[in-house]
Chains A and B, each alone.
Chain A
């Protein structure tokens, strides 16, 4: 029992610990045991948080923009224990990944606009549109540390 527990939590450590306190080789080996049944990730607001907010706007018609970030977040603030929080988490998470994707110069070779596509699909789902329907998305970034106007991402 003691051996089993030691093995399990040693693998958990190597799978989850940050690179600074970890060995890449051990991380790869432990992933073989941990995945898929014990998969976990405990960065929890660390090491650093994003220093900007993102606003998602969508447009079905030329020139008419709808701020869906505002809708989703207002619902999340008003109904704290409901499912609204999970929608807010999904949208802002992907919007941040899409912002990152644009900032680092679209590094994903297979799908250079992977997160932008996922964001588009999320918005289509939220608006209950068909996957083939035309939809334009505008993503704007607002810096937390300056009162500058929002920076247009795409």
Chain B
């Protein structure tokens, strides 16, 4: 009987993860700035005359809210990019954090959905993190209050979402032959779009590293959702994850996915202690 009460009490205790939320906000802003630079360079291909992603067939009424750019339109796209970046910056410095982040979420969803052919999973990671961030106002930390409980629930949701990504991906991998026989990473590096010539040469001459790395990825994906909740090993789990995602970003060329996952890690750990954080916060204020 003690455990359920403990879980329920968790939502009534004051919200203490302001540092994680601030790092998440900065991380998401960084991702969106990089993405905005990409989009502006590819403006004509994303929403202009040479739009590459075909229009989506919208089924539900609610889909309209996140598919406003379905037919393209460069001026509207630029407007949404400006709104997105302004709202994300505003959410860091101003007190209307929930509403500003929600507006940024809607703008981002429209930008991402209209360029789906050019996106990686990283765009969806950031979208989901943004949605949950829009439920958080780290200034509302009064215990036994609804805003505080919502903060706590949203923070847990971001953490579970990251665990879900690894767990679901693991389920897909164990039904694939190439993952079980250890050849998946070799095959990925042989595909033109997921390789880098220097990696291709080095790794293929050291085949045992590829087999080991394939099994390491499998083990990491199933162990992450378990070990991340153990405080003693959390730092190491995340360190391995950062290494893995840097390899995905630069080795496999999925830059946006690698960076998005590293950003999402801030939900679990921030490399700054409370005193240093207070100094940073007062500097920002």
> Bound pair: A and B?
yes
The answer to whether the Cβ of B275 comes within 8 Å of any Cβ in the partner chain is no
The answer for the CA separation of A38 and B231 in the assembled complex, in Å, is: 29
Binds A, one of B16-24, B75-83, B92-100, B160-168: B160-168
- Of A39, A90, A118, which one neighbours B124 at CB under 8 angstroms? A39
Q: Which residues of A contact B (CB under 8 A)?
A: 1-2, 4-5, 8-9, 12-13, 16-18, 20-21, 35-51, 53, 69, 73, 76-77, 80-83, 85-90, 92-94, 118, 121-122, 124-126, 128, 144
The answer to whether the Cβ of B229 comes within 8 Å of any Cβ in the partner chain is no
Q: Give the chain B neighbours of A53 by CB distance below 8 A.
A: 190-192
The answer to whether the Cβ of B142 comes within 8 Å of any Cβ in the partner chain is no
- Of A1, A69, A125, which one neighbours B45 at CB under 8 angstroms? A125
- Asked whether A82 and B38 contact (CB < 8 A) given A37-B62, A40-B124, A93-B117, the answer is yes
Closest chain A residue to B221 by CB distance? Answer: A44
- Asked whether A8 and B172 contact (CB < 8 A) given A49-B178, A90-B117, A125-B50, the answer is no
- Asked whether A49 and B191 contact (CB < 8 A) given A2-B8, A37-B66, A81-B255, the answer is yes
- Of B59, B124, B192, B254, which one neighbours A85 at CB under 8 angstroms? B254
Min CB–CB distance B20 → chain A (angstroms): 18
The answer for the CA separation of A94 and B113 in the assembled complex, in Å, is: 17
Q: Give the chain B neighbours of A87 by CB distance below 8 A.
A: 42, 45, 118
* Interface size band for B: 35 or more
Closest chain A residue to B38 by CB distance? Answer: A83
Closest chain B residue to A47 by CB distance? Answer: B176
Question: Judging by beta carbons under 8 Å apart, are B253 and A88 in contact?
Answer: yes
The answer to whether the Cβ of B197 comes within 8 Å of any Cβ in the partner chain is yes
The answer for the CA separation of A49 and B187 in the assembled complex, in Å, is: 7
Question: Judging by beta carbons under 8 Å apart, are B164 and A9 in contact?
Answer: yes
- Of B51, B59, B179, B193, which one neighbours A76 at CB under 8 angstroms? B193
The answer to whether the Cβ of B222 comes within 8 Å of any Cβ in the partner chain is no
Q: Give the chain A neighbours of B256 by CB distance below 8 A.
A: 85-86
Binary contact track B22-57/A, C-beta < 8 Å → 1, others 0: 000000000000100111011011000011111000
- Of B50, B63, B193, which one neighbours A128 at CB under 8 angstroms? B50
Q: Give the chain B neighbours of A47 by CB distance below 8 A.
A: 172-173, 175-177, 179
- Of B8, B39, B118, B192, which one neighbours A73 at CB under 8 angstroms? B192
Question: Judging by beta carbons under 8 Å apart, are B164 and A42 in contact?
Answer: yes
Closest chain B residue to A127 by CB distance? Answer: B50
Query: In chain B between 98 and 125, which residues have their CB closer than 8 angstroms to a CB of chain A?
Result: 109, 113, 115, 117-121, 124
- Asked whether A18 and B172 contact (CB < 8 A) given A46-B179, A83-B38, the answer is yes
The answer to whether the Cβ of B149 comes within 8 Å of any Cβ in the partner chain is yes
Q: Give the chain A neighbours of B39 by CB distance below 8 A.
A: 83
Number of CB contacts from chain A to chain B under 8 A: 173
Question: Judging by beta carbons under 8 Å apart, are B255 and A80 in contact?
Answer: yes
Question: Judging by beta carbons under 8 Å apart, are B196 and A77 in contact?
Answer: yes
Question: Judging by beta carbons under 8 Å apart, are B131 and A37 in contact?
Answer: yes
The answer for the CA separation of A9 and B157 in the assembled complex, in Å, is: 8
The answer to whether the Cβ of B7 comes within 8 Å of any Cβ in the partner chain is yes
Question: Judging by beta carbons under 8 Å apart, are B191 and A1 in contact?
Answer: no
The answer for the CA separation of A44 and B191 in the assembled complex, in Å, is: 14
Q: Write 23 A-B pairs (CB below 8 A) sorted by A numbering.
A: A4-B153, A5-B160, A8-B157, A13-B164, A13-B168, A17-B171, A20-B175, A40-B128, A42-B165, A44-B121, A46-B176, A47-B179, A49-B178, A80-B250, A81-B249, A83-B39, A86-B120, A88-B193, A89-B117, A118-B54, A125-B52, A126-B45, A144-B187
Q: Give the chain A neighbours of B118 by CB distance below 8 A.
A: 86-87, 89-90
- Asked whether A36 and B117 contact (CB < 8 A) given A5-B160, A89-B193, the answer is no
Question: Judging by beta carbons under 8 Å apart, are B179 and A122 in contact?
Answer: no
The answer to whether the Cβ of B156 comes within 8 Å of any Cβ in the partner chain is yes
Question: Judging by beta carbons under 8 Å apart, are A1 and B153 in contact?
Answer: yes
Min CB–CB distance A13 → chain B (angstroms): 7
The answer for the CA separation of A56 and B115 in the assembled complex, in Å, is: 21
Question: Judging by beta carbons under 8 Å apart, are A46 and B11 in contact?
Answer: no
